[in-house]
Structure 1
Amino acid sequence: MQRQYSYNSNQPGCGGCLLIVILLLLATGGWQAVGNFVSVLIYSGLFGVIVLFAAFFGFTKYIQSRATAYEQSQSETHNRFVFLLVNILVCIAKADGHFTKSELRTMLNFFQHSLHYNQEQMYWVKQLIKEARDEEQDLDALLTEFRNRFAYEPRLILLELIYQLIFTKSPAEEAELNLARKIGQFLSISEYERRTMENKYRYGHQKQRSGGVGGGAPAEQQYYAVLGVEQGADFAAIKKAYRKLSMQYHPDKVAHLGDEFKGVAEEKMKEINAAYDHFRRKFEGS
Structure 2
Amino acid sequence: MIRWIAAILGYIFFRIPGAIIGFLIGSYLDSSNRSGTNPLNRTSRVTPADFEVNLLSLASIVIKADGSISEQEMQFVQNYFVQAYGKERANATFRTFNEVIKTREVSASRICEYLRLRTRYESRLQIIHFLFSIAKADGLVSELEATKINEIAGYLHIGFKDFESIKAMFFTNPDSAYKILEIEKTATVAEIKSAYRTMAKKYHPDKLQHMDDLYRKGAEEKFRKVKEAYEQLQKELNFK
TM superposition score normalised by structure 2: 0.66
RMSD: 3.5
Q: CA deviation at 1:173?
A: 4.0
What is the distance in 2 between the residues matched to 1:81 and 1:126? 15
Match of 1:120 among 85, 88, 91: 88
1:158 matched residue in structure 2: 127
Larger radius of gyration: 1
Q: Contact 1:2/1:80 (CA < 8 Å) preserved in 2?
A: no
Q: Secondary structure at the match of 1:267?
A: helix
1:129 aligns with 2:97: yes
Match of 2:218 in 1: 264
SS at match of 1:276: helix
Which residue is 1:36 aligned to? Answer: none
Q: Which residue of 1 aligns with 2:180?
A: 226
Query: Number of matched residues?
Result: 200
Change (3 A) 1:199 1:282: closer
Q: CA 1:263–1:180 in 2, change beyond 3 Å: closer, same or farther?
A: closer
Cα distance, 1:258 vs structure 2: 2.3
Deviations 1:63-100 (A, max 9, x none): xxxxxxxxxxxx97223222211111102322444322
- In percent, how many aligned pairs have the same letter? 24
2:203 aligned partner, one-letter code:
Y
Is residue 116–residue 156 contact of structure 2 (8 Å, CA) maintained in 1?
yes
Question: 1:186 aligned to 2:140?
Answer: no
Q: 2:56 aligns with which of 65, 80, 86?
A: 86
Among 43, 47, 52, which residue is 1:77 paired with? 47
Residues 132 and 149 of structure 2 are in contact (CA less than 8 Å); yes or no, is this contact kept in structure 1?
yes
Q: Runs of 4 or more off by more than 6 Å in structure 1? A: 1-5
Q: From the superposition, tell whether residues 186 and 167 of structure 1 become closer, same or farther in structure 2 (CA, over 3 Å).
A: same
CA change 1:222–1:174 in 2 (3 A) is: closer
Residues 78, 257 of structure 1: 8 Å contact kept = no
Per the normalisation by structure 1, the TM-score is 0.57
> Following the alignment from structure 1 to structure 2, what is the Cα–Cα distance between the partners of residues 268 and 181?
18
In structure 2, do the counterparts of structure 1 residues 237 and 149 end up closer, same or farther at CA, with 3 Å as the change threshold? same
Q: d(CA) in 2 for partners of 1:2 and 1:234? A: 57
Q: Is residue 109–residue 155 contact of structure 2 (8 Å, CA) maintained in 1?
A: no
1:37 maps to none
Using the TM superposition, give the Cα deviation of residue 275 of structure 1 relative to its aligned residue in structure 2, in angstroms: 3.2
Q: Work out which of the residue numbers 80, 85, 107 in structure 2 matches 1:138.
A: 107
SS at match of 1:189: coil
